[in-house]
Structure 1
Amino acid sequence: MSRSRVSVAVLVGGALLVAPQAGQAAVQDYTVTVDVNAHGADIADTMYGVFFEDINRAADGGLYAELVQNRSFEYDTADNAAYTPLTGWAPRAGNPQVVDDDGRLNAHNRRYLRLPLPGGIINAGYNSGIVVEKGRKYDFSVWARTDRATTPLTATLTDPAGTQLAAPVRATVRGAAWTRYTGTFTAQTAAITGRLLVEGGGVGTLALDMVSLFPKDTYRNRPNGMRRDLAEKIAALHPEFVRFPGGCLVNTGSHYGYDAPNWERRRSYQWKDTIGPVEQRSTNANFWGYNQSYGIGYYEYFQFAEDIGAMALPVVPALVTGCGQNRATDDPALLQRHVQDTLDLIEFANGPADSTWGRKRAEMGHPEPFGLTHLAVGNEENLPDAYFERFVRFRAAIEARYPEVTVVGNAGPDDSGATFDRLWQLNTDAGVDLVDEHYYNSPTWFLQNNERYDSYDRAGPKVFLGEYASQDNRFYNALTEAAYLTGLERNADVVRLASYAPLLSNEDYVQWRPDLIWFNNRASWGSASYEVQRLFMNNVGDHVVPSTATGTPSQEDRPISGAVGLSTWGTAAAYDDVRVSTPDGTELFADDFSGTDADWTNIAGRGSWAVTGGAYVQSDTAAENTMVMAGDTAWQDYDLGVKATKLSGREGFLLGFGVKDSGNYYWWNLGGWNNTQSAVEKAEGGGKSTLVADGTAVETGRQYDLRVRIRGRTVTLFLDGQKWGEFTDTQKVEPFRQVVTRDTRTGELVVKVVNAQADSARTTVNLDGAGAVDRSAKVTTLQGDPNDVNTQYTTPIAPRESSVNVATTFTYTFPPYSVTFIRVKTRSSS
């Protein structure tokens, strides 16, 4: 079906708007006035970067170009219930066994394969198989030893039927000492489901470890390097920094063991485990539920940042967990060791080649320092005081020895709330230079909060927006992110760094969505958000040029309306005595669960709900967001009451109001985030934003009385008869946003306009103070259906370039659902 004939419904500001068919769009009139000769905020050279975390199989099977899965036989059920040491492998002959004994390759690489001869074993790589391109070269290597004087070893690239794709690589394994054997395949046939077969002949036993297959054509042809197409897509963004290695990978150590031995696969992420020869590096359990090889280690991160012209920005653990965990490690000796490890990291990056850790860098091939200037301590900690107590220890030690390194603090896991406020207070009082904020919110939140940083203290710490995204991968999400970026640039004196997250996702291993770049074994493609990021990151400018714009006429504020809902998250709970009434006490709905649950609909399709013992019980402690709904979506100005009891599980209650459907509602989240805080969240289009929050936790077995009073757009909440909180949801959704910057190198103004609505925006642009302008201006546009999604096979959201005639005052009509950059060369009138 042609896109021009489709009407698309989009939720904006709680109202369902319908995008008109092509040729039927209404036109809104705007004026943008630019003070051409004024100088706004300078934009930092570090304004835009990327954040890499090994989530969604971003490293092994992704950016790391290794084609063999589980190359060192270290997979374990402790990392993933579906794993065994032979995951990724299948016997071809004989009875191969993975062992862990004194014959291991080294102390950090403990398991190896014992292969009775004659025998063989075959690996299918990641996803559906190894992609082999005709004419390309592939480097094979393996560490091996034998209990005979010599043993013939053959490696073959095949398809699933056993047909050879390249001439085999042959080697003779000699003796009982571990030795590395290498060879190169030249593919004679292409395949997308290739296999690597490794066979030993003769009799006796062959031991194998670190079985590897690399495309020779890695990014910048580096051994142990990056997958070229993914690296090139990242490089095409021209990021000014790379934040790594996480994220939640960094600060989950008390779960995995901050002080576990460095061969233990459930040890926290520690940089020293990731350097040196790859066969001597530890493997580890990944926070996101799979095994990580550390093939991409700190050396490779630094080198990759250097290769793409970006600043390296590592994150080290503060020994306080975040990401839904709440534990702090109190061992003073352990804390001091991690502080010293961080000092050693800076020496590894910046020390001379004759220093202890600088020598290790030089031995790996980089005698010159990497020039580290920024380092972050911690990530999304939920215990602000415990975190900050440890942060200042790291900061003092770093500043004493390396005063040139900026130490970055953080503001917790959300855009607001008690943790956020406390961390900002602590960072401000301590004079921290940069504070790392993270948030993933609904598209509407991004349209409502363009002015977020307008009111930040210009004399306080600067902001590093280290993780953010609108919660989907549609073009509408990218549009709202683009609108938000205009606010970041306008406030470039406060916001000094920003990076969308996550960066990468393997389409067969999706753990988090949205993501910037998607891939499988065969191809990679940028999302709509990628195209927005690339447009902004390649047209930053050196400083803001002050400008103003007229706003979009707003519709009359509508009262909050909707049905009621009950839900749980990883928790079993019982609800009773649900009552909904009008302000004068007229009953709209009541259920004491003395009968059936016929009035309730499971709109989430999850959980196990049943009327039990005169209550409505959800008993599945593994299910998340089990929303059931009752009542009329047109209800407004009502009182909701319910009694709730937590039976078991990790969180508390979720009481819904203003419920429209499974993606659009408000809920009172009591005992959320692993029972560490409570909040009212607003869900729109499946994404959520926080409206009010505190630190309330929920006790198991205690019955709570919950009351919600809705009047217009004001909501008041009562817990056991006491007022818990109140908010008024009146933030305006503004779909037309703009910012102007100057590129001093080219002498151009970059007029950046986002029109995130179904109407065209006919705009008069006044370049006040411009003596003259070049008549022709370059225009770059992203435009499409708000529900468009880029895929491997179709990329409807891609930049289109054109030109337009301009003057000191000109009119331009920005199309519906579009991001447009106009580069205008001006000459001052002064």
Structure 2
Amino acid sequence: MSRRRILTRAGAALLLSTALLAMPGTSVAAPEYTITLDPGAAGVEIPDSMYGVFFEDINYAADGGLYAELVRNRSFEFLPADNASFTGLTAWITPGTTADDDGRLHERNRTYLRLAGGQSLTNAGYNSGIAVRGGALYDFSIWVAGSAPLTVTLHDAAGQALAAPLTITTRGDGWAKYTGTLRATRTTDAGRLTVRAGGTGALRVDEVSLFPRDTFRNRPNGLRRDLAEKIAALDPGFVRFPGGCLVNTGSHYGYDAASNYERARSYQWKDTVGPVEQRATNRNFWGYNQSYGLGYYEYFQFSEDIGAMPLPVVPALVTGCGQNRATDDEALLQRHIQDTLDLIEFANGPVTSTWGKLRSDMGHPEPFGLTHVAVGNEENLPDAYFARFVKFRAAIEARYPQITVIGNTGPDDTGATFDRLWELNRQAGTEMVDEHYYNSPAWFLSHNERYDAYDRNGPAVFLGEYASLDNKLFNSLAEAAYMTGLERNADVVRMASYAPLLANIDHVQWRPDLIWFDNDESWGSTSYQVQKLFMNNVGDRTVPSSLAGPGLEPQPITGGVGLSTWATSVRYDDVRVTTPAGETLFADDFSGGADAWRPFTGRGAWSVVDGAYVQSDTAAQDTMVRGADITATDYDYSVKATKLSGAEGFLIGFGLKDTGAFYWWNLGGWNNTQGGIEKGVGGAKEQVLLKPSTVETGRTYDITIQVRGTSVKLLLDGVEWASFTDDQVTAPVAQVVTRDGDDLIVKVVNAQDRPAVTRVDLGGLRVDGRARATVITGDPAEQNTRSAEPIQPVTTTVTGISSDFTRTFPANSVTFLRLKTK
């Protein structure tokens, strides 16, 4: 239950030492880095929408999470069609039986419970039980058809009362809603709700609900306060919803002809509005049931409550998220286009319009002020998607020309789909496109300049989903370094949102995540603390600045040479590494054995056979062995390779540093269909280039890799196969400077294990001698968890600030210096 958040002793000591290190006069070393401002040059305007949040119902983020309903499966709609382990009585204990017939509460609320007099039903909520707080009020409601006295109790697993019982008497054969209030007498996160029917008659029961009175903004059918407040504390400029993958994927797209309702289909906004007992439920792409109690109205209202722009995403009828399918049903497409027009009317229309009236009837006569709509999410069929996108856009612009219609670029930061969608969006003059990517920390540290070269006259970028692939502080530092590049390019990148937003600790389908929670507690990840620092200190404009120092220049590709296989047996021979002038740096024809080679990954069965080096295990993957270390910056690495058997081809390694840092030329990879260069960074692999490639069994290939500094040419049987240049810099330090009114905000990320002594030249700007410094730092492998949150911002006042000053930025830190200009 409620625990006092504590810093670990090591974390507290580290923060204290960091604060002392950052104080003026404590630096003894000469500056390694220099930040130089050009205050006379025009920076770029940073929009209010620069940073926002993306809410998707993944990781049980809605039901059992942000949506404050405490009863799981309140309408008995969990069915095997949703999840093979579900039944209509999932989360319930009752001798009653479920039914689906003409006696139902509503057409789209199909399943209800048949309960006889003397029987009871008990619900344990989500996770370990229902969380209640002593002294708090809880609003109970139930829909019943039939006459009987009901006794409602809150109790623990042992049956001990958590509140005084509530008595309700139902009357009549028709459906009616009955309500009451329970006041918890003590606190637990393992409560139970029981409803017992008296008398002898039969009842129909549906929509059993228990809500905390204390929701965010005290709204009925509201949001869990602690989670909503954590989101609000980010001060987001927009809220993207409802997805994500659940927008455009699912078994079906349309309505069932017989009932106008169908389970397992893409997200339909009209299912999610109106009285909650009349809303449909739906199978979630992530493997569970959605009640839609948190629907489009609640999304719009929450966005308004926290001062954020709503940004809904509608289905384009082309699948994404690893699926490849598009509908050819023109009538269905037109229905979805009309649904989108109706959505805009629901958000902005007058109360005299059909959908504006529904919004008003739900309690919000004023328009929500919708300005942006995104069509589709991560579609894998670029031409099919775009043919539908332009139809959506044409219909929206014809009726609502003030709405910005956002396209997208598929599921990755590069590749054929990405390139094709960017081409189509440019040609069509799309105003804004949505990019998504999840990459290693090294990728984020080496791509700070990604948007520097983007066309300033082309579509703007909405970075709708991004994150570094873990939840440790080092991941957050890499994201922070990348965000300095986003701000520097705020004229191109107009919006950005980390994803996913929420994760229930007991139901995790994707990680990393920004905010974690259980039944009654929530905690921000290290990335939450970094995102909050950036989002609360954006500024109005950038001030042009530059950074000089070590580690900021491209490094040549040097390191070990290697041989590897993947589910394939291969014979390698005649390895040679020479300089461009022909001087031999390393050679091995294996006539004397393979003593010059050592394991790199420790996998595979390597041996010398008939004067060649053979890997014979066709089940083994990633079997790299390492030869000589090459320190020369220009060299040619050649080898003869023969596939003996198995599923794929050859993996020729070069620039090997360690098992998490290397390059390899993959020939005949991906089940012998593709070839390419992959780069190992931080334990993950990134594709540098990719093209079709097939390797023949029994044929010997001459393979040569020519390295010239950061440029590489690949030769196959003497013919150039491909080439690339990798001049990305994994920069340990990054910075950006912004103005916020009269304040200057110097933002510095030091993602290395040593302090960065830095001279800051403000270009003659006069500033107050005192500044506010906010620092996030700690062990780069540390993360915030349910038991402790060691990574927290520490804010202090520092002195000795002038137009030219020196500061030491702690190892593994994000520092924001807020200076007052004179």
Q: Give the TM-score taking structure 1 as reference length.
A: 0.85
The match for 1:248 is: 245
1:579 aligns with 2:572: yes
Question: In 2, distance between residues paired with 1:274 and 1:676?
Answer: 44
> Does structure 2 conserve the Cα–Cα contact (< 8 Å) formed by 1:444 and 1:733?
yes
1:732 aligns with 2:729: yes
1:825 deviates by 1.4
The match for 1:16 is: none
After superposition, the Cα gap between the structure-2 partners of 1:40 and 1:79, relative to the gap in structure 1 and judged at 3 Å, is same
The match for 1:767 is: 762
> Does structure 2 conserve the Cα–Cα contact (< 8 Å) formed by 1:469 and 1:500?
yes
- Count of equivalent residues: 767
The match for 2:34 is: 31
- Aligned partner of residue 422 in structure 1, secondary structure: helix
The match for 2:4 is: none
Question: In 2, distance between residues paired with 1:101 and 1:245?
Answer: 31
> Does structure 1 conserve the Cα–Cα contact (< 8 Å) formed by 2:643 and 2:699?
yes
* Cα deviations by residue, 1:690-749 (Å, 9 ceiling, x for unpaired): 32235x5999x99999997555566667899987644344421111111111112xx011
1:256 deviates by 3.0
The match for 1:595 is: none
> Does structure 2 conserve the Cα–Cα contact (< 8 Å) formed by 1:324 and 1:673?
no
1:786 aligns with 2:780: yes
The match for 1:142 is: 142
> Does structure 2 conserve the Cα–Cα contact (< 8 Å) formed by 1:324 and 1:674?
no
Question: In 1, distance between residues paired with 2:234 and 2:254?
Answer: 35
Question: In 2, distance between residues paired with 1:589 and 1:599?
Answer: 22
After superposition, the Cα gap between the structure-2 partners of 1:152 and 1:705, relative to the gap in structure 1 and judged at 3 Å, is farther
Q: Residue 771 of structure 2 aligns to which amino acid in structure 1?
A: A
1:118 deviates by 1.6
Question: In 2, distance between residues paired with 1:646 and 1:336?
Answer: 49
Matches for 1:4-19 after TM superposition, within 5 Å? none
The match for 1:71 is: 74
Q: Residue 799 of structure 1 aligns to which amino acid in structure 2?
A: P
Question: In 1, distance between residues paired with 2:273 and 2:489?
Answer: 39
Question: In 2, distance between residues paired with 1:346 and 1:644?
Answer: 61
* Cα deviations by residue, 1:144-201 (Å, 9 ceiling, x for unpaired): 123xxx2121221110011110011221122221111111110012111111112112
1:195 aligns with 2:195: no
After superposition, the Cα gap between the structure-2 partners of 1:545 and 1:164, relative to the gap in structure 1 and judged at 3 Å, is same
Deviates further, 793-802 or 260-269 = 260-269
1:529 deviates by 0.7
After superposition, the Cα gap between the structure-2 partners of 1:38 and 1:599, relative to the gap in structure 1 and judged at 3 Å, is closer
Question: In 2, distance between residues paired with 1:668 and 1:293?
Answer: 49
After superposition, the Cα gap between the structure-2 partners of 1:645 and 1:719, relative to the gap in structure 1 and judged at 3 Å, is farther
After superposition, the Cα gap between the structure-2 partners of 1:586 and 1:547, relative to the gap in structure 1 and judged at 3 Å, is same
Q: Residue 779 of structure 1 aligns to which amino acid in structure 2?
A: A
Question: In 1, distance between residues paired with 2:234 and 2:338?
Answer: 35
Q: What are structure 1's unaligned runs of at least 5 residues?
A: 8-22, 568-573, 592-597, 604-613, 619-625
1:127 deviates by 1.0
Question: In 2, distance between residues paired with 1:358 and 1:202?
Answer: 45
1:182 aligns with 2:185: no
The match for 1:267 is: 265
> Does structure 1 conserve the Cα–Cα contact (< 8 Å) formed by 2:456 and 2:492?
yes
1:786 deviates by 0.7
The match for 1:622 is: none
- Aligned partner of residue 70 in structure 1, secondary structure: coil
Q: Residue 162 of structure 1 aligns to which amino acid in structure 2?
A: G
- Aligned partner of residue 122 in structure 2, secondary structure: strand
> Does structure 2 conserve the Cα–Cα contact (< 8 Å) formed by 1:754 and 1:820?
yes
1:798 aligns with 2:792: yes
Question: In 2, distance between residues paired with 1:536 and 1:168?
Answer: 48
- Aligned partner of residue 499 in structure 1, secondary structure: strand
Question: In 2, distance between residues paired with 1:289 and 1:413?
Answer: 20
Q: What are structure 2's unaligned runs of at least 5 residues?
A: 1-7, 15-25, 578-586, 594-598, 605-614, 631-636
After superposition, the Cα gap between the structure-2 partners of 1:783 and 1:5, relative to the gap in structure 1 and judged at 3 Å, is closer
Question: In 2, distance between residues paired with 1:248 and 1:56?
Answer: 13
After superposition, the Cα gap between the structure-2 partners of 1:741 and 1:173, relative to the gap in structure 1 and judged at 3 Å, is same
The match for 1:684 is: 681
Aligned-residue CA RMSD (Å): 3.4
After superposition, the Cα gap between the structure-2 partners of 1:4 and 1:376, relative to the gap in structure 1 and judged at 3 Å, is closer
Question: In 1, distance between residues paired with 2:126 and 2:661?
Answer: 37
Deviates further, 546-555 or 673-682 = 673-682
Which of 221, 229, 233 pairs up with 2:230? Answer: 233
> Does structure 2 conserve the Cα–Cα contact (< 8 Å) formed by 1:468 and 1:500?
yes
- Aligned partner of residue 271 in structure 2, secondary structure: helix
Question: In 2, distance between residues paired with 1:565 and 1:310?
Answer: 51
Question: In 2, distance between residues paired with 1:359 and 1:676?
Answer: 56
* Cα deviations by residue, 1:638-686 (Å, 9 ceiling, x for unpaired): 6585759998xxxx99968568887666577899999998765434334
- Aligned partner of residue 425 in structure 1, secondary structure: helix
> Does structure 1 conserve the Cα–Cα contact (< 8 Å) formed by 2:12 and 2:790?
no
After superposition, the Cα gap between the structure-2 partners of 1:562 and 1:228, relative to the gap in structure 1 and judged at 3 Å, is farther
* Cα deviations by residue, 1:602-652 (Å, 9 ceiling, x for unpaired): 69xxxxxxxxxx98555xxxxxxx9453423877746585759998xxxx9
After superposition, the Cα gap between the structure-2 partners of 1:279 and 1:751, relative to the gap in structure 1 and judged at 3 Å, is same
The match for 2:295 is: 297
Question: In 1, distance between residues paired with 2:628 and 2:115?
Answer: 69
The match for 1:755 is: 750
Q: Residue 110 of structure 1 aligns to which amino acid in structure 2?
A: R
1:483 deviates by 0.6
* Cα deviations by residue, 1:19-69 (Å, 9 ceiling, x for unpaired): xxxx99998611111122333001111111100101111111110101111
Deviates further, 637-646 or 340-349 = 637-646
Q: Residue 140 of structure 1 aligns to which amino acid in structure 2?
A: F
> Does structure 2 conserve the Cα–Cα contact (< 8 Å) formed by 1:563 and 1:660?
no
> Does structure 1 conserve the Cα–Cα contact (< 8 Å) formed by 2:144 and 2:177?
yes
1:506 aligns with 2:501: no
Question: In 1, distance between residues paired with 2:275 and 2:779?
Answer: 49
After superposition, the Cα gap between the structure-2 partners of 1:366 and 1:655, relative to the gap in structure 1 and judged at 3 Å, is farther
Question: In 2, distance between residues paired with 1:644 and 1:88?
Answer: 55
1:807 aligns with 2:802: yes
The match for 2:159 is: 162
1:742 aligns with 2:775: no
After superposition, the Cα gap between the structure-2 partners of 1:112 and 1:530, relative to the gap in structure 1 and judged at 3 Å, is same
> Does structure 2 conserve the Cα–Cα contact (< 8 Å) formed by 1:464 and 1:495?
yes
* Cα deviations by residue, 1:546-589 (Å, 9 ceiling, x for unpaired): 1111132469635254755555xxxxxx6333537623784579
1:277 deviates by 0.6
- Aligned partner of residue 807 in structure 2, secondary structure: strand
Q: Residue 64 of structure 1 aligns to which amino acid in structure 2?
A: Y
Q: Residue 788 of structure 2 aligns to which amino acid in structure 1?
A: T
Matches for 1:256-405 after TM superposition, within 5 Å? 256-260=252-256, 262-405=260-403
> Does structure 2 conserve the Cα–Cα contact (< 8 Å) formed by 1:552 and 1:736?
no
